[in-house]
Structure 1
Amino acid sequence: MEKGPKVVVQPPDSRGLRAISVGGTTVGSAWSLRGLRKVLRSVGHPKDLDVRDRRFVQWRGGGSEVWPDRTWRRRIGGGFLVIGLLGSMVLLAVIGIPDAFGALTFAQRMAGFAFVLFGAVEGVAALAALDFRGKRRFRYTGAVVLLGVLIALATHSLLLFMWFQEREYTPYLLMYLPLWFWSVWALQALVREGAWKGLPHPQRFAAGVAATALLATVNLAYSAVYQPSATPVLLRLTARFGKPVHDPVRPIVHLPVRLHAKNIGKVAARVINDEYSLYGYAAEFTAKRKGGLKERREALEFGEDVSLHTGVSDARTLGAGRFVGPGSWFEPGDEHTKERVLHLPEDAGYDWLEVAFGMEIMRMDRGRIDEEFYVPHHSWKKEEGTLHCLPEVCGDTLIHRGRLRHNNNVLNVTRRPVYVTASWTLDPEWSYTHTFLSSSPDFTPEDEAAAAAADKESAREIERYGIFYTHTSAVTPFRALLAPRAKRG
């Protein structure tokens, strides 16, 4: 070493790291004297080299006692940065994977894959953060970390914006709200450290990040808002009576009834509730004018038409049933037919018959239901020691209950859980269905005010999930069924 020192320790940089060169070639860097000895051993210097001997080691910007690195502060800051990136990776994967592999539309799947891709970038950025907060052996780790933080800030800001629209509590809020504050802190720290330095074209990098964020936002808005609203659900229902057949032995009329449903639109439809009912009507008739003020008001109160010669009609349920059942669905072009035969005595005394057929439908591009919804519960049976509805309150009722989920998983993490209850009740006079949506799986109103608030909430959720009721009916005079018998007599 007569020619002078071959080991040069450079001045500390802004973080306290000192570069080390041997013979003019940089061989490493160190945070401490111990790190310096480790680097020197790796290039062949003896363990007992006296680093304080200026004949062998040249110190610039401070001697062997100058190591300004704050180890714990650096490690805690680096760990905080890595934890935030990993947390963002997990959250984005949780949001994106269900849509990427289970969404019904192409746009929704693309939105899901975008979140999965963003989550992968967060994972890569977490690995890059280890080097960026360390000795920065790789040139572009700072830019990769900056990209990860920008994606985190953009996605968590989007989640918070969507949450503020409704301000409903969801457990996911405890993830993306702290992560939003973390991303603001991380961005400020990276800007102070000049994380973009070393990029050949930093302006293009910024433009690429902005374009990616804009594309993801537009795709999300299209898949979550525009597409599920622009295309209507077209489910056509028909109900009709067939040709009556007189029993050759008994005084009975066999009346066929045909029900048919077909999806003539482009959007798949899921059945939330369905029912058909067969009614027999008998009305008081008089040749004199019957439609006075009293009768007119009675008809209006019962939701019936006002008739000049008849009063309010008495109705009786002759038969009722399900068509396809809750949870079934119709893809575009799907159709289903159900036929049954109504048996009536010839002297039943009805004036006319009616078949009523209706469904409550949810568009499948807006939501889905958990599998528990497919299992019916009975109001008169205890399940695990609990009645789903007291018989004296609900009567004889079949109940289907399950968790509703938006098809776009971003909405699931920014909205509170919603549960749907679909009931079908049979009583001696009428059969009817009722669909109720609530944020509680077992909601029972305590008073009228709570019931009114629950009904308002249910109406809002029904509109949000695109649930609507469609129905049809057919009528026939009862006397027309007896006409063939009269001709044979």
Structure 2
Amino acid sequence: MRSIRPWVVVEPPDSRGLRRVVVGGETVGRAWSLGELRKMLGRLGYPEDLNVDDAASVSWRGGDSGTWPDRAWRRRAVTVLMVAGLFASMALNAAIGWPDASGALTFAQRISGVLFVLSGVVQGVAALAALDYGGRRQFKASGAIVLLGVLIALATGSLLLFMWLEEMEFTPYVLVFMPLWFWSLCTLFLLVRDKSWKGVPQPKRFAAGVVATALLTGISLAYSTMYQPAAAPMHFTLRAEFGKSRADRVLPFVQVPLTLYMKNTGGIPVYIVNDIYTVRGRGAEYSRYPDRRALVREWSERAGERGEEAERYVSRLKYTTVSSGHFYGPGKRLEIGQEYSLKRVFQLPKDALYDTVSVDLRVSYMRKDRGKLDVDEFETPHYSWDKEAGRFHCSACGRLVIYHGMVRHNNNLVNVTRNPRYVTAIWSPVRDPISSISAFDFKGESDFVKEEKRELERYGAAEVRANAEVSLAELLMSSGV
């Protein structure tokens, strides 16, 4: 005997056009269309040709068998865009975080990289949840998970956009994070409009967890990019000393030992960008005039020569380079606590017209926690007089040895928003060494000076010096001449 009560009840469509199907008082599923309803009923044993308009078989609420407001193409397009955006953001976060997580020098920078990798994992889970959220929403928390993934994408995109605006340099990542930033804004609007968090059992705790995670991530990034690199001190010990000279057994020369020494006594390893030691002999004319006015005149003349300390009784100083060379070598690393010493012997004629002999040791470096130098490229010297040196060839520049290599910031978050910088070191035995860091996209000399100063500070580049001076009389005396 057939019951008067309808076997099938089709509820009114929800906000997405999905209609709940109840059979015998139990929910058996949801249908987007009449075709899906027939398939569902067919699996339950109903005939394929069931007359769905027969009130004795199907009860329609909130519309009849023709009321199916779902726009399948629109819903699927939104779902595809949501999933694609989350997967793209996942890949971006992984690309940013993995180099730091696996190879950053400091613990804080590794933690920052790990956070980006973990946030990428969350976005991957959110992309899978978006398939359920755009479908029948069988998992109650899928909307909240998608919302969390989109919030992470928005936070990452906003941070990258903020950092990019500081320099406004084109990088391939701009074509990724800018569209993702706009995508996250639009997706967030849709999720908020639909109140995607409604399925979470305790939405307040969920919101508190999101805020706490965002704060911890922000503090970690601030610590790793600003405070920690600036807080670690840099200390160098640098010495240059003359040894006891010896007269050559055959030639009329005096052999003078020279010891150069350095030690990284700070808390950060460094790259040596450029270094040079230069031994010079000083010749001078001494006063022949005993009257006071001549001494005052010589004092004034001496004060204006080479910007050096004023000295009485001497004038017309002349410095002659006796020996010059690299100390440690451009591109080499000096780790924490590492020390290095070099011993050299140079020769002086016994009748040299010098009154003093001095050595000047200069070492330029950059902090290893601020950047990663392409050492293989940088250690290769280029000679300005060599016609095969390409763009480094300069016949009018004199005999210069040029070192050039790319440097990347040690925080990969910076690398994706800025073009790489290049370290250039110029060495010559007859001129002061030059060390520079720039992007080579400056316009005019003033822009270059500003950019170079900014980049030197950004990468923690600096120079340390040591010098010593001894009288030629003392060297000759110690050699027995």
Instruction: State whether TM-score is above 0.5.
Output: yes
3-state DSSP class of the match of 2:68? coil
**Aligned match of 2:104:** 103
**Aligned match of 1:328:** 332
Report the CA distance shift for 1:34/1:315 in structure 2 as closer, same or farther (over 3 A): same
For the 8 Å contact 1:7–1:22, the answer to whether it is kept is: yes
3-state DSSP class of the match of 1:257? strand
Amino acid aligned to 1:249: V
Report the CA distance shift for 1:486/1:128 in structure 2 as closer, same or farther (over 3 A): closer
Amino acid aligned to 2:421: V
Q: How does 1:175-214 map to 2 (within 5 A)?
A: 175-214=176-215
3-state DSSP class of the match of 2:314? coil
For the 8 Å contact 1:317–1:431, the answer to whether it is kept is: no
- Measured against aligned partners, the alpha-carbon deviations of 1:20-72 in whole angstroms (never above 9, x if no partner) come to 23333323222122222333344444444444444333322222211101122
Question: Which shifted more, 259-268 or 76-85?
Answer: 76-85
Deviation at 1:138, TM superposition (A): 1.0
**Within the alignment, does 1:400 sit opposite 2:403 as a pair?**
yes
Q: How does 1:40-439 map to 2 (within 5 A)?
A: 40-288=41-289, 292-293=296-297, 296-297=300-301, 299-371=303-375, 372-383=377-388, 386-393=390-397, 395-426=398-429, 430-439=430-439
Report the CA distance shift for 1:415/1:291 in structure 2 as closer, same or farther (over 3 A): farther
Rounded Cα–Cα distance in structure 2 between residues aligned with 1:205 and 1:365: 37
For the 8 Å contact 2:32–2:68, the answer to whether it is kept is: yes
Structure 2 runs not aligned, ≥5 long: none
- Paired positions, count: 476
Rounded Cα–Cα distance in structure 1 between residues aligned with 2:456 and 2:295: 39
Rounded Cα–Cα distance in structure 2 between residues aligned with 1:313 and 1:20: 103
In the superposition, the TM-score normalised over structure 1's length comes to: 0.91
Question: Which shifted more, 400-409 or 41-50?
Answer: 41-50
**Aligned match of 2:453:** 459
Deviation at 1:263, TM superposition (A): 0.9
Report the CA distance shift for 1:314/1:292 in structure 2 as closer, same or farther (over 3 A): same
**Aligned match of 1:482:** 476
CA RMSD for the aligned pairs? Answer: 2.2
Report the CA distance shift for 1:62/1:425 in structure 2 as closer, same or farther (over 3 A): same
Identity of aligned residues (%): 49
Rounded Cα–Cα distance in structure 2 between residues aligned with 1:321 and 1:35: 84
Structure 1 runs not aligned, ≥5 long: none
**Within the alignment, does 1:471 sit opposite 2:474 as a pair?**
no
3-state DSSP class of the match of 2:178? helix
Report the CA distance shift for 1:263/1:52 in structure 2 as closer, same or farther (over 3 A): same
In the superposition, the TM-score normalised over structure 2's length comes to: 0.93
Question: Which shifted more, 79-88 or 63-72?
Answer: 79-88
Rounded Cα–Cα distance in structure 2 between residues aligned with 1:84 and 1:178: 9
Deviation at 1:291, TM superposition (A): 5.4
Q: How does 1:27-42 map to 2 (within 5 A)?
A: 27-42=28-43
- Measured against aligned partners, the alpha-carbon deviations of 1:275-310 in whole angstroms (never above 9, x if no partner) come to 111112211222436655576356534132222111
